[in-house]
């Protein structure tokens, strides 16, 4: 009987010590709400671009071309710099849009025109400089991201102000009795046109708020025009500006984008300690 009482007493003492020890343990706090991690897209951004152009023009035309029976032209531009700024908005992780403005620096133009007309042959040599201001509204589709690199495509539409300056036309005509040289000058002039563009490139996200782009762009700038062509003594029988028909450019650009929306901080639950 005594042994049973001892066993009961020992069990009670053990249970009591367990309860006392458990009371000394820290009480775990209730689980805290953790918001979902912030999305890695969305918000306003600023952009800047530099690059260079590779330009083409279909042909030069003039009201006096009606006197020609044939014309074979060889025309080209030197490469010129591109400098642009813009502001845009990232709508989600695959679609964004921006407004851009850019200056396209002076490009040297050169060309020749071998002309056949009634009574003779002629060759014209052309020189000029060309520059533009362009403003475009662009939309882009991001095609997915691999190792922080995002390929994209896009399109844009806007306006371009094409300026032609320092135009000269050195002509040599052979009318059967010898070569007859002539020199004509074109006044500086500018023309506003509808412009449109196609984009393709790669974007690399350096940080959540900074992205670098390497892009190709096809840009249609419309027509350019000179002022009236005059001879060296200022005379001219008819108003005959020279028109640069359908100027296009294959551009390569390096751009950067700064996200103006600060990334939301990640939530960390408080550290609970017994004190």
Considering Cα of 156, then 133, then 165, then 52, what sign does the dihedral take? negative
pTM: 0.78
Q: How far apart are CA 113 and CA 61, in angstroms?
A: 11
3-state secondary structure 210-241: EEEEEEEEEEEEEEEECCCEEECCCCCCCCCC
Mean pLDDT of the chain: 83
Interval 206-222: pLDDT, tens: 999 999 999 999 999 99
- Indicate the CATH number of 41-259 among 1.10.760.10, 3.40.50.2300, 3.30.1490.120, 2.40.160.20: 2.40.160.20
Interval 102-128: pLDDT, tens: 999 999 999 999 888 777 788 889 999
Task: Over range 44-48, report the average pLDDT.
Answer: 97
Q: Provide the pLDDT confidence category of residue 56 given band limits of 50, 70 and 90.
A: very high
Q: Which two tokens stand for residue 89?
A: 């908005």
pLDDT of residue 275: 45
Q: How far apart are CA 76 and CA 137, in angstroms?
A: 28
Q: How far apart are CA 205 and CA 213, in angstroms?
A: 9
Q: How far is CA 11 from the centre of its chain?
A: 82
């Amino acid at each position: 009987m005594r042994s049973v009482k001892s066993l009961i007493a020992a069990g009670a003492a053990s249970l009591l010590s367990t309860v006392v020890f458990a009371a000394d343990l820290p009480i775990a706090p209730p689980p805290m709400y953790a918001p979902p991690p912030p999305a890695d897209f969305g918000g306003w951004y600023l952009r800047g671009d530099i690059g260079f152009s590779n330009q083409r023009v279909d042909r030069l035309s003039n009201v006096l071309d009606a006197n020609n029976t044939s014309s074979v032209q060889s025309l080209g531009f030197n490469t010129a710099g591109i400098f642009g700024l813009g502001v845009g908005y990232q709508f989600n992780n695959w679609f964004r849009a921006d407004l851009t403005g850019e200056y396209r620096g002076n490009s040297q133009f050169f060309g020749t025109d071998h002309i056949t007309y009634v009574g003779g042959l002629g060759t014209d040599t052309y020189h000029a400089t060309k520059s533009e201001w362009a403003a475009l509204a662009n939309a882009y589709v991001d095609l997915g991201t691999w190792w922080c690199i995002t390929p994209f495509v896009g399109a844009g539409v806007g306006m371009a102000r094409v300026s032609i300056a320092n135009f000269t036309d050195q002509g040599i005509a052979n009318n059967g009795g010898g070569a007859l040289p002539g020199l004509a000058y074109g006044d500086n002039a500018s023309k506003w046109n509808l412009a449109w563009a196609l984009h393709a490139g790669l974007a690399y996200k350096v940080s959540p708020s900074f992205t670098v782009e390497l892009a190709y762009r096809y840009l249609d700038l419309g027509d350019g025009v000179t002022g009236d062509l005059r001879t060296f003594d200022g005379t001219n029988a008819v108003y005959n500006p020279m028109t640069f028909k359908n100027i296009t450019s294959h551009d390569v650009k390096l751009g950067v984008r700064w996200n103006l929306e600060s990334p939301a901080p990640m939530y960390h639950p408080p550290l609970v300690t017994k004190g």
